[in-house]
Structure 1
Amino acid sequence: MKTKLFLTLITVFSIAIQNTQAQINPDGFFNKKGEANIAVSYTFATYEKFYLGLDEVDAVPAHNQIDQNIYNVYANYGITDNLTVIANLPYIDSEGQGVADPVNGTTEQSNLQDVSLLVKWAPFVTQHKNGTTTFVVAVGGSYAFDYEPTGILSLGNGASSIDTKLGLQYNNNSGFFGNAFVGHSMRGEADNNLGLGDGAKFDVPNSVNAQIKLGYAGKSFYADAWFDAQKSNGSLDINSPNFAGNFPETKVSFSRVGLNLYAPITKTIGVSLGSGTVVSGRNIGKGTYYSGGLIIGLGK
């Protein structure tokens, strides 16, 4: 690359979506050994429509509209030149604009969501005449804090997870790049503190996910366009006959598109902007979010 960029724009992907977990989507850029980046960001998300199962409705049930203010801290560190560890922690303030949630009786929830940790490794880097191809293996997980997991307004599904991802990234010497990743998330159980459905715990379904990104990382700016998707394995829909308010057990699937921008201010400080929107889904809010962040580079 022509310049050292603080590629922490992954924070845009780590926002919360109703009844899903915050996840870290890796890329094929790696810190040098001993280098670290810290990013703080703010995201505003609004959901005016909702997918009841696969059926899109014009207002979020009960709440009409949900607004979220998301404050995020992200950090990465280069253990070696081809091994980077990533951590992410969002705090979410979520508010419904209608009546109280019919399941948990609230109109607002605020809490830390899920702290996530991911280690990505580049076992193979192939040199080409005009660039490089990097093969990436990533393993990580998340821990769910003590927020209320039941209801449309919930900050997440309340279950911890183990996540694995595989991907390829091609970096052209001109600065253009592209990557593709696939992954699997194995979910744990969530507390059934309201006694809904069957059992003392909720069985949160596992999921598969995928990401495609195209972008440019040059001397004076970074930009990318991305698509990502998730599909839950099994379980039930909100509008199914067996649904009894057990939101953590629902199938949550989605596809999203978005853009990220980054510009350095000094050698160690930069700013980022991002936006994304849900284009299709299942048992999830449909809306758009906007994000901005401050990024600080540390180390060599």
Structure 2
Amino acid sequence: MKKVTLLLFLLTSLSIFSQGPWTQKKGKFYTQISFTTIPSYNELFGNPDYEIPGKITDNTIQLYSEYGITDNTTLIVNVPYKIIKHKGLVNPCLIGPCPEHSNKENNLGNIEIGIKHNYYKKDWLLSAQFSVEANTGSFDKNSGIRTGYNAYTFTPLFLAGKSFKKSYLQTFIGTKIRTNNYSSNFKVGGEYGGKVSKNIWLIGFLDIEKSFKNGDVVLPYSNLDTGLYVNNQEYGVVGIKAIGEFSNNFGITASLPAAFFGNNVAKQVALSVGLYKKF
């Protein structure tokens, strides 16, 4: 497999705007529902890259919403629902051909709630965001399928952005601090986008997460075999996002990231699309 491989990290597919400095007007809603699929993979990034027993298909249905508490302060809620399937050969298998077994887990991932506050708006917008991911995922010990981190995650971010006539630029930097002896991560990235026609935006982005490797959580062997929400997950991706506007308050989103490094995350092509509505 090529070193630069299409990748969708297991926790991505948030709203296009989720890490931007812009806030919703008081009383206004932005809501997006998205579907992400990482089909039938058994190879993970590592040093070196490695294979896991069997093949995993990881689907996520995700509801993301923003609500303007004031013109400068926005409430953020993100609810992922995971649909994960693990298929492999029956082990031990004494007489061939060996039959396949299949395990499934449909459950919530880590629900996230946060606050974004804009504290400066002149040429550049400067904002701060703080969110908490709850320990709402599930784990099946027999199959090793985990739908979220067995931890709370606290994410402070500093956000900056600037609008131009038909384009914009934004960037963010922060950390993800996890409990239960998971390692924490450093997070940085940004994007530049512009209108290519009356109703279509194209956006280039960079998103990097690096583990501090400061955690020593002990996970069951079955969980390590699947590689789902294990310790020291990290990645670096560049890619393209697109927004198609059906009207001023309704449209479709899609993204296609490409990885230039990773650790303990899926090495596979991913598909992600979403619908958004503004109220």
One fold, TM greater than 0.5?
A: yes
Aligned-partner SS, 2:151: coil
Which one of 48, 51, 54 corresponds to residue 55 of structure 1? 48
Q: Does 1:209 align with 2:202?
A: no
CA drift of 1:219 comes to 5.3
Alpha-carbon distance in structure 1 between the residues aligned to 2:29 and 2:103? 39
Equivalent residue, structure 1, for 2:3: none
Alignment partners' CA distance in 2, 1:22 and 1:292: 8
Q: Could you tell me which amino acid in structure 1 is paired with residue 187 of structure 2?
A: N
TM-score (norm 2): 0.79
RMSD between aligned residues: 3.1
- For residue 142 of structure 1, the aligned residue among 133, 137, 148 is 133
Higher mean C-alpha deviation, range 72-81 or range 150-159: 150-159
Q: Secondary structure at the match of 2:210?
A: strand
CA distance in 2, matches of 1:267, 1:169: 21
For residues 264-275 of structure 1, the aligned pairs below 5 Å read 264-275=245-256
Give 1:69's match in structure 2, choosing from 34, 59, 75: 59
1:122 to 113, 118, 122: 118
Partners of 1:273 and 1:38 lie apart in 2 by 15
Any idea what SS the aligned residue of 1:80 has? coil
TM alignment of 1:68-107, pairs within 5 A: 68-99=58-89, 107=103
Distance 2:131 2:61 in 1: 21
Give how far 1:156 is off. 2.6
Distance in 1, Cα, partners of 2:236 & 2:187? 10
> 5+ unaligned residues in a row in structure 2: which ranges?
1-7, 93-100
* Equivalent pair of 1:68/1:95 in contact (CA under 8 Å): yes
Instruction: Work out whether residues 21 and 156 of structure 1, in 8 Å CA contact, stay in contact via their aligned partners in 2.
Output: no
> 1:40 aligns to what?
33
Q: How does 1:111-190 map to 2 (within 5 A)?
A: 111-127=107-123, 133-148=124-139, 153-172=145-164, 174-189=165-180
Matching residue of 1:108? 104
| Alpha-carbon distance in structure 2 between the residues aligned to 1:149 and 1:159 | 16
Offset at 1:16? 5.9
Gaps of 5+ in 1: 1-14, 128-132, 190-202
User: Per-residue deviation at 1:76?
Assistant: 0.6
Post-superposition Cα deviations, 1:195-233, rounded to whole Å, max 9, x if no partner, equal xxxxxxxx1111111112111258523321111111112
Cα-to-partner distance string for 1:134-181 (whole Å, 9 max, x where unaligned): 112111111121401878642232211111001211211x22111221
* Mapped contact 1:149–1:157 kept (Cα < 8 A): no
1:259-281 deviations in whole A, cap 9, x for unaligned? 22112223432222222243321
* Most deviating of 282-291 and 243-252: 243-252
